[in-house]
Chain A
Amino acid sequence: KNQVEQSPQSLIILEGKNCTLQCNYTVSPFSNLRWYKQDTGRGPVSLTIMTFSENTKSNGRYTATLDADTKQSSLHITASQLSDSASYICVVSARSGGSYIPTFGRGTSLIVHP
């Protein structure tokens, strides 16, 4: 069964600090991995996507890494801001014929305090 595990479950940091969120997966056949940000009361929004051949991808203060051998990904947030407070969801997709089948992690809840 395809699974995506995220850690930590929740994290509290001070504004301006860095943090790293982790994602481990067992999804086959692997197609791509996305990190989504979900603000409270809103739908998730894609931050980054990584395919098998990519091991680093940046989007502003967000940097995602992928190690396809160990099936691990991380999301690093630099110089955190209050607006970074949200749930961060790792989604790994398997390719099945012409369809992509996503498996969602449970998310890491990040709170940034002033």
Chain B
Amino acid sequence: NAGVTQTPKFQVLKTGQSMTLQCAQDMNHNSMYWYRQDPGMGLRLIYYSASEGTTDKGEVPNGYNVSRLNKREFSLRLESAAPSQTSVYFCASRGDSYNEQFFGPGTRLTVL
């Protein structure tokens, strides 16, 4: 089992460019999440998907869109990147045992 995988690991964008962060899990989990982590801040929820075909906004959704392509895959899209979106992005999936979340290795995004 690979667990939760994310691509790319690193990305540099110019302001206004768009990109999609990919996430996949092989644990047959229903729920998947996207977080951002900034220095001195806790993980903040951007969007989540409780099940295939559903998505909901989290704490900081502005500037992002998501797609739950199927049960395995949950992508995060930045339509017009801004320097404020420079961050480390983590994808996670949730198991059935009391909300344990399994995190991917993260994508380090810099927007110039």
Contacts and interface: CB of A to CB of B under 8 A. Distances in A.
Given A49-B100, A102-B101, A43 B90 contact: yes
A51 interface: yes
B106 A104 contact: no
B53 interface: no
A34 to B, nearest CB: 7
Given A43-B4, A43-B106, A98-B50, A104 B98 contact: no
A93 B99 contact: yes
Nearest to B41: A106
A32 B98 CA distance: 7
Given A43-B4, A43-B105, A104 B42 contact: yes
A4 B59 CA distance: 15
A99 B50 contact: yes
Interface of B is mostly: loop
Interface in B55-112: 90, 92, 94, 97-101, 103-106
Interface string A6-49: 00000000000000000000000001101000000111111001
Query: How extensive is the interface on chain B, given as a class?
Result: 20 to 34
Interface of A is mostly: strand
Query: How extensive is the interface on chain A, given as a class?
Result: 20 to 34
B43 interface: yes
B106 A46 contact: no
B45 interface: yes
Contacts of A46: 100-101
Nearest to B44: A104
A107 B100 contact: no
Given A43-B104, A104-B43, A107-B42, A34 B92 contact: no
Nearest to B51: A98
Interface of B: 4, 31, 40-45, 50, 90, 92, 94, 97-101, 103-106
Interface of A: 4, 31-32, 34, 41-46, 49, 51, 89, 91, 93, 98-100, 102, 104-107
7 contacts: A4-B42, A41-B105, A41-B106, A43-B90, A43-B103, A45-B103, A99-B31
